[in-house]
Amino acid sequence: MGDTLTKPAAPIEKEHYFSLSFVLTRVLNSGVIMSIEKNDHELKGLEKAIAKLTNTKYVSLFNSFTGAVHGAFWGQDIGYGSVARLEHASEQERKFAKWLGIQLSTDPHVKNAYSAITVDGHNLHRLEQEIRSSAALSPVLILDFTGLGFGPVAAVASNDELVWKKAERLKIFGAFDLQTMWTQEESAPELQPAVQFNYRLSPLVAACVKISFLRRNPSS
């Protein structure tokens, strides 16, 4: 009886109430947010949230982990015939690198292409610590959010604008393709890849991942 009762912490801060309800409304009206819109808010919102979380300037979203891996490689001019190093590469990464014609090396003198973090419900609250640890391994970070259960989704975060530009150029309906559609003028033609891929993330999935960010309780 002597214990003091305290009000439990709210799962979502009050300043996020409006944005959360707005996002949920858009999610429930998925026919709207699944389209390619000039005024799309979900992809931009998730990019900003990830940039703040990772303390990076540029974020490129993908609809699969392999798409993000491809973007990280291509953004650094790592392609067919290149040699790259990956710390603790998974079988999936090794197979995909081989398919791209990239030779993986264990030579410590070879630059580590990227660091990758798999995000799920167990480590969502402590991402800051994992990101700090990964930042020391490579300036390019891949976050794989597929484990959150909303479908395949990943992001490439970096402070290098050229990495972001090339990763976006790799995507059909990426930032540069959409700019061309809206202005009817070719944008950044010098960055055109030999082929583009259907790596564009659905705004519906982006909205769900953003909600997970709002609901998480970060640990120090």
> Does the residue 220 lie in any domain?
no
Reported as a single tens digit per residue, the pLDDT across 135-183 is 888 999 999 999 998 889 999 999 999 999 999 988 876 655 555 554 5
Beta pairing class for 154-158 and 115-118:
unpaired
Reported as a single tens digit per residue, the pLDDT across 48-68 is 999 999 999 999 999 999 999
CATH code for the domain in which residue 171 is found: 3.40.640.10
Reported as a single tens digit per residue, the pLDDT across 114-137 is 999 999 988 988 999 999 988 888
Short-list 129, 124, 150, CA closest to 205? 150
Query: Quick count: other Cβ atoms within 10 Å of Cβ 93?
Result: 19
What pLDDT sits at residue 32?
46
> Does the residue 9 lie in any domain?
no
What range does the domain containing 31 cover?
Answer: 14-215
Short-list 172, 177, 134, CA closest to 156? 134
DSSP state of 64: S
> Does the residue 7 lie in any domain?
no
Q: Indicate the number of domains in the chain.
A: 1
Compute the average pLDDT of residues 78-105: 95
> Does the residue 8 lie in any domain?
no
> Does the residue 3 lie in any domain?
no
> Does the residue 196 lie in any domain?
yes
